[in-house]
Structure 1
Amino acid sequence: MRKEEELEAVRLNKFLSHNSKYSRREADRLIEEGKVKVNGVVVENLATKVTVNDEVHINKTPIKEDKNKMPTVIIYNKPKGEIVSKKDPQGRKTIYDSLGKRYAHFMSVGRLDYASEGLLLLSDSVQIVDALMHSNLERIYKIKVNGPIGPKVESAMMHGLELEDATDGAFKGSKIRSMKFAPFLGYNIVSNGEKFSKIKVSINEGKNRELRRFFAHFGLDILDLKRFEFGGISLNNLPTGKSRFLSKEEYRNLRDFLSQNEEDDRSF
């Protein structure tokens, strides 16, 4: 198990975002403007880290984390057309607009892009979010592409793929150019046609639009992408745009995972 101070130290902007109404971007601006104090000292370094034992203020308002609060994890069935962010500079709808003030301080485990939908985990625990985000737990997606799944695509799914130029399918302006794609944990071609194909895939990461970049390399655009399972936690019958708490069994499995990975086993 990690030392307590290593376990609890987080970036100041993350601490502010987690425990206040501000997004990380807004927290960065407050820090740069000299409006944030840590232990009575104005802090302007964006790389500053704090623990729950530090005294943090925005202007004269104390920002605290309840050390005795039991962490909560929820599942949100994200619809297309929502941004996984507290605020969007373009004014688009965010998941927090739908979730409401009750979950304004929750953080998402990774992201689903604007055009993607499905299972999104959120928690009010920094440790849980970090543990799940950096895990190799299985993520299962249902995907629709605009063409056939050929032998080259299947071979890459089975054996992996390394690309010097993986910019096709990336966000415009992304600085990530080359990527290494691990072999998929599994896949099932539901339908395979010249115009459209549907496939269920299982991977253990899913960052940086990994799936969109992978299929784009073979000239296939992803038309629909829905995540319906993460680490054994499933959407089941949860309607689009709705959220629910984890079941007792799901919480028990999460506790086991955190304990096995030497994460914050004091959280539960």
Structure 2
Amino acid sequence: MKENKSHSGKKKTEEIQEELTRLNKFLSHNSNYSRREADKLIEEGRVKVNGKVVTNLATKVSSKDEVQIGKKNIKEDKNKIYTVIVYNKPKGEIVSKKDPQGRKTIYDSLEKKYKHFLSVGRLDYASEGLLLLSDNVEVVDALMHSDLERVYKIKVNGVISKSVEEAMQNGITIEDARTGAHKNSKIKSMSFAPFLAYDIQTNGEKYSKIKVVISEGKNRELRRFFAHFGLDVLDLKRLEYGGISLNNLPTGKSRFLTKEEYKNLRIFMNEDDRSI
């Protein structure tokens, strides 16, 4: 069998490129600095690569390069076990490092050692419940863009009608889904996949309570969905994400994953040829 040399050469070049990592990403993965903090260190000339100071934020490195912050060597630890925590977010906190309006963020409540952790998606200011955070970008991206089950408990100001149930069962495309969205959102049209499951716990004229299971994580998805039927979401709490649940975790508190949860997470990551 003849080998396509040009194709083979291209493949080898791509493999070499894949081994290169942005310097700020390398630093955030192998130190306690966030990417933004790593960028600042680079700009200040405090980072060396192979003995030379680098200030270019686009610099890429491989595992063979010698990287230093000051006199400290930063080495890649391929066997590093990255940390994932569960936070029971209360209402009235922003899932962001800083808020221009000066509102409280989750990082004001979390311990300082978690300040560089990234959140798996978001819960808006008025929502509460389970929020996953990790110090590993690949883990965060994989979880955020997965179709893992998300379980929510919701309270709306009216009746769950047959048309609402039909939309939950069959899915729906809403051409103007701005109602229920953040005022600055640029997303107008939105398609909603069928809910994986739902349980109407209370159904009344003044309010209804429902537990839903979905596999998406779109911008204010549930608030937009119910708003289309004239229902305002009064309360929204996330109970589970990918089999990880709040259990008895108090509001405003965090915990590490259990051994079983870590085991399941590793299985999930390995399916994408990645591991933590």
Give the TM-score band, short-chain normalised.
Answer: 0.7 to 0.9
1:105 aligned partner: 116
Alignment of 1:11-90 (within 5 A): 35=44, 40-43=53-56, 48=58, 50=60, 53=63, 67-68=77-78, 69-90=80-101
Tell me, which stretches of 5 or more residues in structure 1 are unaligned?
Answer: none
Secondary structure, in 3 states, of the residue corresponding to 1:140?
A: strand
Tell me, which stretches of 5 or more residues in structure 2 are unaligned?
Answer: 1-13
Counterpart-to-counterpart distance in 2, 1:119 and 1:222: 18
Q: Closer, same or farther in 2 for the Cα pair 1:261/1:147, shift >3 Å?
A: same
1:216 aligned partner: 227
Aligned residues of 1:23 and 1:87 also touching (Cα < 8 A): no
- After superposition, the CA RMSD in angstroms is 3.1
2:165 aligned partner: 154
Is 2:154 aligned against 1:133? Answer: no
Aligned residues of 1:187 and 1:200 also touching (Cα < 8 A): yes
2:249 aligned partner: 238
Alignment of 1:244-263 (within 5 A): 244-262=255-273
Deviation at 1:261, TM superposition (A): 2.5
Is 2:184 aligned against 1:173? Answer: yes
Aligned residues of 2:178 and 2:187 also touching (Cα < 8 A): yes
Counterpart-to-counterpart distance in 1, 2:121 and 2:62: 23
Tell me the percent identity. 64
Counterpart-to-counterpart distance in 1, 2:74 and 2:255: 26
Secondary structure, in 3 states, of the residue corresponding to 1:152?
A: helix
Letter in structure 1 aligned against 2:232: D
Q: Closer, same or farther in 2 for the Cα pair 1:136/1:8, shift >3 Å?
A: farther
Which structure has the larger Rg over C-alpha atoms?
A: 2
Counterpart-to-counterpart distance in 1, 2:117 and 2:256: 13
- How big is each residue's C-alpha offset from its partner over 1:163-210, in whole Å with a ceiling of 9 and x where there is no partner? 221111111111111111111111110100111010000001122111
Letter in structure 2 aligned against 1:133: M
Deviation at 1:106, TM superposition (A): 1.0
Counterpart-to-counterpart distance in 2, 1:175 and 1:49: 33
- How big is each residue's C-alpha offset from its partner over 1:4-38, in whole Å with a ceiling of 9 and x where there is no partner? 9648746x7766777566685x888x59x965779
Is 2:194 aligned against 1:187? Answer: no
1:117 aligned partner: 128
Q: Closer, same or farther in 2 for the Cα pair 1:213/1:63, shift >3 Å?
A: farther
Tell me the TM-score normalized by structure 2. 0.80
Q: Closer, same or farther in 2 for the Cα pair 1:159/1:105, shift >3 Å?
A: same
Aligned residues of 1:5 and 1:51 also touching (Cα < 8 A): no
Letter in structure 2 aligned against 1:119: L
Deviation at 1:130, TM superposition (A): 1.0
Counterpart-to-counterpart distance in 2, 1:259 and 1:214: 33
Q: Closer, same or farther in 2 for the Cα pair 1:110/1:194, shift >3 Å?
A: same
Aligned residues of 2:180 and 2:224 also touching (Cα < 8 A): yes
Tell me the TM-score normalized by structure 1. 0.82
Counterpart-to-counterpart distance in 1, 2:165 and 2:82: 41
Counterpart-to-counterpart distance in 1, 2:183 and 2:66: 40
Counterpart-to-counterpart distance in 1, 2:99 and 2:75: 26
Aligned residues of 1:8 and 1:127 also touching (Cα < 8 A): no
